């Protein structure tokens, strides 16, 4: 059986999603028997796009012209293009200041002597090219990445999750931080798949996995209101990882 040819690329992001894959130290030898990580600039050199790929895994949002070119080339060469992480799926932290003027932001960060660079408001990958699957998270869970890769060996794409973090909290029999401890937890509105990692350690969910589809918004915001949390406060928290979160 031939190895699957995979490209892994990072756009505007912190590289944490790619690092999560590299942190699978125990599993990497087995993965190398199944995959040829041909284009992976963070881990391999030289990094040259050559030929076609069974899948391209792309981390980070799009904010520069050369990233559009790379993304379009990966899309053209790849059977599947898979979004890796919340930045690639929703814009992420990089898109928090999309309402501000880009030149102002550049000078705030780099100073008055900053070299001009052509950038635009960070966007999720699907605003530029069609995508075949999304593995969200900041970063994605190790088990999610491994399931995604083993699925590709069988010719299957990752199954979309459609339930909130609260579902996993109940499965772990956790106390509800929102209703029982009056803590602003975003679990009811945040996509599950993390195993309720933070609430299981009594840390409220921060919404890092993006919005759960078809959430019961009316009832959820009534609960937030009963607990003393204003709608705008909740929205501001939600939009730290998904600035375009619309409710």
Domain ranges of the chain: 4-153, 165-238
How many other CB atoms are found less than 10 A from the CB of residue 177? 19
CATH 3.40.50.700 at 4-153, yes or no: yes
Per-residue pLDDT of the chain (247 residues), as tens digits, is: 789 999 999 999 999 999 999 999 999 999 999 999 989 999 988 888 999 999 999 999 999 999 999 999 999 999 999 999 999 999 998 888 888 888 888 888 888 776 667 888 999 999 999 999 999 999 999 999 999 999 999 999 998 889 999 999 999 999 999 999 999 999 999 999 999 999 999 999 999 999 998 888 889 999 999 999 999 999 999 899 988 776 6
- Global pTM reads 0.91
């Amino acid at each position: 059986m031939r190895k699957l040819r995979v490209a892994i690329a990072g756009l505007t992001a912190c590289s944490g999603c790619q690092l999560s894959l590299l942190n699978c130290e125990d599993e990497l030898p087995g993965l190398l028997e199944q995959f040829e990580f041909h284009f992976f600039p963070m881990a391999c050199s030289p990094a040259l796009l050559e030929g076609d790929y069974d899948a391209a895994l792309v981390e980070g949002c799009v904010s520069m012209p050369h990233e559009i070119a790379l993304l379009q080339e990966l899309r053209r060469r790849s059977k599947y293009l898979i979004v890796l992480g919340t930045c690639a799926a929703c814009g992420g932290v990089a898109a928090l200041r999309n309402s501000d003027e880009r030149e102002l932001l550049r000078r705030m960060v780099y100073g008055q002597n900053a070299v001009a660079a052509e950038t635009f408001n960070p966007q999720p990958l699907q605003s530029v090219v069609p995508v075949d699957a999304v593995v969200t998270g900041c970063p994605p869970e190790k088990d999610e990445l491994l399931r995604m890769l083993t699925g590709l060996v069988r010719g299957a794409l990752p199954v979309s999750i459609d339930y909130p973090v609260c579902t996993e909290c109940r499965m772990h029999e956790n106390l509800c931080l929102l209703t029982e401890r009056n803590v602003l937890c975003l679990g009811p509105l945040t996509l599950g798949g993390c195993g309720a990692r933070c609430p299981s350690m009594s840390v409220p969910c921060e919404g890092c996995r993006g919005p759960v589809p078809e959430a019961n918004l009316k009832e959820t915001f009534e609960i937030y209101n009963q607990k003393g949390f204003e709608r705008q406060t909740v929205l501001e928290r939600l939009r730290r990882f998904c600035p375009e979160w619309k409710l």
